[in-house]
Structure 1
Amino acid sequence: MLLWPLLLVLAPVGVQSDWLSIDMPHHAYEGDEVVVRCSEKNNNDIRRLMYYKDGSQISIYQSASSYTISNAEISDGGSYYCMAHIRHAIFASVTEKSSSIQLTVQELFPAPELRVRPSEPTEGTPVNLSCDTQLPLDRSGTELHYSFFRNGHILMGWKSSKFWISEIWKEDLGYYRCEAMTASPSVLRQSQQSYIHVQRIPVSQVSMDTQPPGGQAFDGEMLVLVCSVTEGTGDTTFSWHREDTKESLGMKTQHSQAAELEIPVIRENNTGGYYCTADNSYGPVQSEVVSITMRIPVSQPLLPFSAPGALAFIGDVVELHCEDRRAPPPILYWFYLENIILGNTSVPFGEGASLNLSLTAEHSGNYFCEADNGHGAQCSEVVALDVAARTYPPSKIRLRNCPHRCEGRVEMEKEGRWGTMCDDGWDMKDVAVLCWELGCGAAKHTPAGMLYAPVAEEAQPVFIQVVLCYGTEEAMGECGQVETFDCEPDEDAGAVCE
């Protein structure tokens, strides 16, 4: 009767049994959770449960329990089985072994490849980086996150496998790589490193422009020198120079193809040749020389009248003279009565311009002139002139042989012929009346008429021997006169009025 229990106690260990079974998948992907479950017909009889992989024990449980691989790796692939100590009687147990199941853990996705387009970019141009890998069809919905690195430092981490550099520069060169990983960082793959070489284009076609354009500067105002290049990338150092003095005016380094240098106040001594250079580490390239010339605008011109005071008479001839004494010629002068243009004159030399008017009653009003040398027009102050009718018939008298009508040899007309006047008794009172009648200024001198060459012709008569004026008359016709009796042309009278 004791033989049967003894046989149970001495039963062989590790016998393959259909009573103990193992349940697990044959295939899995990296990062999957794999559950290995061993069971017996009556799990309560399991006193000790052991799990094995490739013949090595990996876990021990005191009762029925499952073994979980929470984050499967390629190395987790292999042959799995379990062994259990099964209680068969109060004092006896047997060890049973399950059948083996082969687990294959597949790569979820291969290591990504970093693609750079273009592979050798030029400074200032965009670059596209892509981190390319492939999920299996049955896991195509798996969410991946991507990261991009340069020289070991992260540039971006995001869901997108694309990274765009809008402008790449020389300092951006280096070793780039990318990473792809699942949303929960259980599976991660890195690409190989790729070296990105950034090409720099040397500067070329350097030119210098000015503001205002054409190298034309206004005295006392700002001048801007603009240095630019047609090609050239990266940091460019711009410098400005004056050619005649070899003076360096300034330097700027910036990420651009143009730079400006301001000269706040330009003066006449700043005229000369200027140029600029540009250098982006391949050596300076020089622009052509630009000549800076000074533009001096006209100042307010002067408008003096040849008429005495602000009163003139109908029939008088007055001279309007407009002059700017600052700006260089050529200058265009305009003459106005109120807002009516009387005339204009372009003067190539610095003498001003004149306009003679034979006065009528319509010439009363306000006069002004305008000067313009192409750099801005200026108007003179307004001068008023009142033109009145004479209360006595004007004498036909004039001063000859002088550029100014208020100076010269005295001549008068009788019966359609012009003759001269003898200087007997000729004094400042006589000249004062003459100046008044001619519409000139105050009397200044009584020179000899022969000073105003050429002298009177022999055939030209001498009409008056002596003029007797008190100086208060308005015309020579009101003065006493003695007809000639003994006078030659070399005794002709002369007069100088203001």
Structure 2
Amino acid sequence: MMLWSLLLVFAPATVQSYWLSIYMPRDVYEGDQVVIRCSGNNNGQIRRLKFYKDGAQIVTYSSASSYTISNAKRSDSGSYYCKADRELFLFVEATEETNSVWLSVRELFPAPMLTASSTQPTEGSSVTLTCSTRLPSDRSTTQLYFSFLRSGHTLQSGWRSAFNISAIWKEDSDYYQCKAKTASHSVSKSSAQSYLDVQRIPVSQVFMETQPPGGQAVEGETLVLVCSVAEGTGYTTFSWHRENMKESLGRKTERSQRAELEIPAIRESHAGGYYCTADNSYGPVHSEVVTITVRVPVSSPLLTFSAPGALAFMGDVVELHCEDSRASPPILYWVFHENVTLGKASAPFGGGVSFNLSLSAWHSGNYSCEADNGWGSKRGAVVTLHVKEAPPKVRLTNGAHRCEGRVEVEREGRWGTVCDDGWDLKDVAVVCQELGCGAAKHTPAAMLYPPAAGTALPVLIQVALCNGTEQALAACEQVDTFDCGHDEDAGAVCEDG
């Protein structure tokens, strides 16, 4: 019992004394490192050191030490003191307690405020987000790191307190927020969320144009249909249509106020009315109808002759016809003989052109024609024309030689006889000249040259009134009244050439 009494007498008692002191900064900012030091006149005597905040023990050390708040927060503000149990002598300890010291942790910066240049921006416009806060004057050099977030996802981080969205769209409507923090990340604060409601402008004034302009297309080349809107934001669905057709020719959805549809190698059958529509979720808006005209370039014009088989005789009048049946008018044609231009003519409403030639021996050779309607000229295939001397239109039959006999003439592919009414040596002279015989000698009756003409041969000339200088019997003046039979057929005798 006596031992226990002694222990109670020398048990440590808590007293405030100047032997133990507490040291710490009085004013600090959020994020600072705060060191609270407790020390005695002889720290080697300290057996236990306890730190308290607002009367509650926060940490205990077995020897002299300091307590460090590595990242001060506002909640660390309060009254701090410490107690030390120190050894006086064997089995005797004393407890020392410091005075309370107030620690004030000041706000480094308030929670930032997020502001937008517009909270209801128009699609496609620029929006600037600004993250604003303030630092105390004695910490104005502190660098802050800013982050901008959309629905919790970071859009940008860096030292800049502003973030520019160069073009914002309807789907970007959302809640936005910013954060500010120190370089060491020891202090980080977030703004309240702000909602951006992006406004979409409906499409209006839909317009369709073509390339080439004016709806003028050339067959085989590319036609581009351009659909555009005067106003309208966001994704726009463009659709192209042919008038009176239900199905779309093409469809494109783009974040643009214009789109193009390409029709490669357009055909003449594609001509007609076209229009386009544009829709950015408010319903389609139609353009006016544009009429597409497809011009057909010349291909290979065809040259034809009126003479069957391209065989003609001198003195004939031959029609040369050049035509490109598909080419679009107006068309300018040229006709060539051995690459020498014979003439040119225009077909303003389509079709072909014709040229007449009175043939001579010079006209034999190669012919071609060329056409041009503004998209380049084309020359057609070469056609050869053979011009021969005209065969005689008269003959002498059943005589002793070719320059004697019954006179027969050809008209429109039929052979017939000549009546001897008025038949004289002038008429015979013309026949002899036409046949290339010698001089006229007699005007005998045809009955001297049997057999007589058959009924299949008509009497083609009643009276020939030749003056003897004509080149052919057909050139002589004639009387058209017919009352002769074959018993009056005329004959002729020429010197045998």
Q: Output the TM-score relative to the length of structure 1.
A: 0.72
Deviation at 1:174, TM superposition (A): 0.7
What is residue 471 of structure 2 aligned with on the other side?
Answer: none
Trace 1:11-30 onto structure 2 (pairs within 5 A).
13-30=13-30
What is residue 478 of structure 1 aligned with on the other side?
Answer: 436
What is residue 57 of structure 1 aligned with on the other side?
Answer: 57
Deviation at 1:194, TM superposition (A): 0.6
Deviation at 1:72, TM superposition (A): 0.6
Pick closer, same or farther for the CA change 1:491–1:131 going to 2, 3 Å. farther
CA distance in 2, matches of 1:220, 1:10: 118
Deviation at 1:65, TM superposition (A): 0.9
**Cα deviation digits, residues 155-178 of structure 1 (max 9, x gap):** 334444333323211111011001
**Cα deviation digits, residues 61-84 of structure 1 (max 9, x gap):** 221111111111001112222221
User: What secondary structure sits across from 1:303 in the alignment?
Assistant: strand
Query: Is residue 191 of structure 2 the alignment partner of residue 191 of structure 1?
Result: yes
**Cα deviation digits, residues 23-73 of structure 1 (max 9, x gap):** 111111111111101111110111221212222222222211111111110
Trace 1:299-338 onto structure 2 (pairs within 5 A).
299-304=299-304, 320-336=320-336
User: What secondary structure sits across from 2:75 in the alignment?
Assistant: helix
Q: Which moved more, 1:190-199 or 1:370-379?
A: 370-379
What is residue 426 of structure 1 aligned with on the other side?
Answer: 409
Trace 1:118-129 onto structure 2 (pairs within 5 A).
118-129=118-129
> Structure 2: which amino acid aligns with 1:241?
H
User: What secondary structure sits across from 2:122 in the alignment?
Assistant: coil
> Structure 2: which amino acid aligns with 1:198?
V
Query: Is residue 37 of structure 2 the alignment partner of residue 47 of structure 1?
Result: no
What is residue 214 of structure 2 aligned with on the other side?
Answer: 214
Trace 1:248-267 onto structure 2 (pairs within 5 A).
248-264=248-264, 266-267=266-267
Pick closer, same or farther for the CA change 1:193–1:368 going to 2, 3 Å. same
Pick closer, same or farther for the CA change 1:32–1:361 going to 2, 3 Å. farther
* Rg comparison, structure with higher value: 2
What is residue 480 of structure 2 aligned with on the other side?
Answer: 490
CA distance in 1, matches of 2:437, 2:104: 144
**Cα deviation digits, residues 432-488 of structure 1 (max 9, x gap):** xxxxxxxxxxxx56799xxxxxxxxxxxxxx8579648xxxxx94736788945974
Deviation at 1:304, TM superposition (A): 4.2
Deviation at 1:149, TM superposition (A): 1.7
> Structure 2: which amino acid aligns with 1:225?
L
Deviation at 1:152, TM superposition (A): 2.5
> Structure 2: which amino acid aligns with 1:151?
S
Trace 1:379-418 onto structure 2 (pairs within 5 A).
379-382=379-382
Are the counterparts in 2 of residues 8 and 92 from structure 1 also a CA contact under 8 Å? no
Query: Is residue 289 of structure 2 the alignment partner of residue 289 of structure 1?
Result: yes
> Structure 1: which amino acid aligns with 2:48?
R
Pick closer, same or farther for the CA change 1:88–1:245 going to 2, 3 Å. closer
What is residue 3 of structure 2 aligned with on the other side?
Answer: none
Deviation at 1:278, TM superposition (A): 0.9
Deviation at 1:355, TM superposition (A): 4.1
Unaligned runs of 5+ in 2: 1-5, 395-406, 418-425, 444-462, 467-476, 483-497
What is residue 136 of structure 1 aligned with on the other side?
Answer: 136
Are the counterparts in 2 of residues 8 and 93 from structure 1 also a CA contact under 8 Å? no
CA distance in 2, matches of 1:295, 1:476: 55
CA distance in 2, matches of 1:45, 1:149: 56
Pick closer, same or farther for the CA change 1:485–1:296 going to 2, 3 Å. closer
Pick closer, same or farther for the CA change 1:12–1:90 going to 2, 3 Å. closer
Deviation at 1:350, TM superposition (A): 4.7
What is residue 149 of structure 1 aligned with on the other side?
Answer: 149
Are the counterparts in 2 of residues 466 and 484 from structure 1 also a CA contact under 8 Å? no
Pick closer, same or farther for the CA change 1:281–1:32 going to 2, 3 Å. same
Pick closer, same or farther for the CA change 1:161–1:360 going to 2, 3 Å. farther
Q: Which moved more, 1:242-251 or 1:223-232?
A: 242-251
Query: Is residue 378 of structure 2 the alignment partner of residue 378 of structure 1?
Result: yes
> Structure 1: which amino acid aligns with 2:410?
D
User: What secondary structure sits across from 1:171 in the alignment?
Assistant: helix
CA distance in 1, matches of 2:416, 2:290: 58
Deviation at 1:357, TM superposition (A): 6.5
User: What secondary structure sits across from 1:31 in the alignment?
Assistant: coil
CA distance in 1, matches of 2:119, 2:246: 45
Deviation at 1:91, TM superposition (A): 3.1
Pick closer, same or farther for the CA change 1:18–1:491 going to 2, 3 Å. farther
Query: Is residue 102 of structure 2 the alignment partner of residue 102 of structure 1?
Result: yes
CA distance in 2, matches of 1:133, 1:476: 124
> Structure 2: which amino acid aligns with 1:490?
D
Pick closer, same or farther for the CA change 1:268–1:326 going to 2, 3 Å. closer
> Structure 2: which amino acid aligns with 1:478?
G
**Cα deviation digits, residues 362-392 of structure 1 (max 9, x gap):** 989865321122344221234578999x9xx
Pick closer, same or farther for the CA change 1:41–1:246 going to 2, 3 Å. closer
CA distance in 2, matches of 1:50, 1:74: 22
What is residue 112 of structure 2 aligned with on the other side?
Answer: 112
Are the counterparts in 2 of residues 310 and 384 from structure 1 also a CA contact under 8 Å? no
Are the counterparts in 1 of residues 145 and 158 from structure 2 also a CA contact under 8 Å? yes
Are the counterparts in 2 of residues 86 and 94 from structure 1 also a CA contact under 8 Å? yes
What is residue 228 of structure 1 aligned with on the other side?
Answer: 228
Are the counterparts in 2 of residues 302 and 380 from structure 1 also a CA contact under 8 Å? yes
Q: Which moved more, 1:239-248 or 1:478-487?
A: 478-487
CA distance in 2, matches of 1:384, 1:275: 51
Are the counterparts in 1 of residues 117 and 128 from structure 2 also a CA contact under 8 Å? yes
CA distance in 1, matches of 2:325, 2:13: 130
CA distance in 1, matches of 2:347, 2:204: 45
Deviation at 1:118, TM superposition (A): 3.4
Pick closer, same or farther for the CA change 1:188–1:264 going to 2, 3 Å. same
Q: Which moved more, 1:362-371 or 1:277-286?
A: 362-371
Are the counterparts in 2 of residues 9 and 91 from structure 1 also a CA contact under 8 Å? no
Pick closer, same or farther for the CA change 1:159–1:489 going to 2, 3 Å. farther
Unaligned runs of 5+ in 1: 1-5, 398-408, 411-423, 432-443, 449-462, 470-474, 493-498
User: What secondary structure sits across from 2:44 in the alignment?
Assistant: helix
Query: Is residue 49 of structure 2 the alignment partner of residue 66 of structure 1?
Result: no
> Structure 2: which amino acid aligns with 1:427?
E
Pick closer, same or farther for the CA change 1:476–1:333 going to 2, 3 Å. farther
Pick closer, same or farther for the CA change 1:246–1:48 going to 2, 3 Å. closer
> Structure 1: which amino acid aligns with 2:480?
D
> Structure 2: which amino acid aligns with 1:259?
A
Query: Is residue 41 of structure 2 the alignment partner of residue 83 of structure 1?
Result: no
What is residue 167 of structure 1 aligned with on the other side?
Answer: 167
The count of residues paired between Structure 1 and Structure 2 equals: 424
CA distance in 1, matches of 2:208, 2:429: 77
What is residue 418 of structure 1 aligned with on the other side?
Answer: none
